[in-house]
């Protein structure tokens, strides 16, 4: 078992907390379970299973800003892309994506929200421009998944 369960008391009565270590070795926990068996089930589902299949994602990692992920994504692409492609991606970011998503946490973005954003752009812009916007967003989200900042890309 890669987690422990401890009991604590609140004004409402006994509660249980699941304590576990993140992949970087730091300790964290999930609190508020009314029954020990619920805490155990959560620990088995979210900690053990995720660590077994390699999909464990620290929930606090989703607080990373989209602008930080974009910068890393562009830096990784610069050596392999032509200057014109880089300029196009940067212009797409500055004009369309940055105003809406730069200051957002990657973990707070949903598929429904992105779909509405893209649909709104599709009503006003050329299809090729919309595809470029989708490409930038997909690249950023895919890198966030690879870096284990989020479990699944919302794109």
Least confident stretch, 24-28, 83-87, 88-92: 24-28
Residue 91 lies in a domain: yes
Q: Which residue has the tokens 């910068």?
A: 71
Distances (CA, A) of 128 to 19, 77, 97, 120, 150: 49, 21, 15, 14, 28
Q: What is the pLDDT of residues 122-155, one digit of tens each?
A: 999 999 999 999 999 999 999 998 888 887 888 8
How far is the C-alpha of 14 from the C-alpha of 7, rounded, in Å? 7
Do residues 86 and 29 both lie within one domain? no
Say what the alpha-carbon torsion angle 7, 149, 69, 123 is, to the nearest 10 degrees. Answer: -110
Q: What is the pLDDT of residues 5-23, one digit of tens each?
A: 999 999 989 999 999 877 6
Greater model confidence, 87 or 52: 87
3-class DSSP assignment, residue 88 = helix
pTM for the full predicted model: 0.68
pLDDT at position 58, please?
66
Domain span including residue 140? 62-146
How many CB atoms are closer than 10 A to CB 65? 14
How far is the C-alpha of 142 from the C-alpha of 119, rounded, in Å? 20
Do residues 23 and 90 both lie within one domain? no
Greater model confidence, 70 or 52: 70
Residue 44 lies in a domain: yes
Query: Which CATH number do you get for residue 125?
Result: 1.10.150.130
Residue 107: pLDDT over 90? no
Number of domains in the chain: 2
């Amino acid at each position: 078992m890669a987690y422990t369960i401890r009991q604590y008391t609140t004004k409402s009565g006994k509660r249980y907390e699941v304590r576990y270590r993140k992949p970087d070795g730091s300790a964290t926990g999930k609190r508020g379970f009314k029954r020990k068996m619920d805490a155990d089930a959560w620990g088995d589902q979210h900690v053990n299973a995720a660590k077994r299949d390699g999909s464990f994602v620290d929930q606090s990692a989703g607080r990373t800003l989209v602008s930080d992920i974009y910068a890393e994504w562009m830096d990784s692409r610069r050596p392999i892309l032509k200057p014109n492609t880089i300029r196009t991606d940067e212009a797409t970011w500055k004009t369309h994506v940055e105003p809406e998503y730069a200051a957002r946490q990657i973990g707070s973005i949903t598929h429904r929200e992105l779909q509405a954003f893209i649909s709104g752009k599709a009503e006003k812009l050329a299809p090729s421009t919309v595809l470029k916007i989708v490409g930038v967003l997909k690249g950023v989200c895919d890198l966030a998944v690879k870096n284990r900042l989020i479990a699944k890309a919302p794109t």
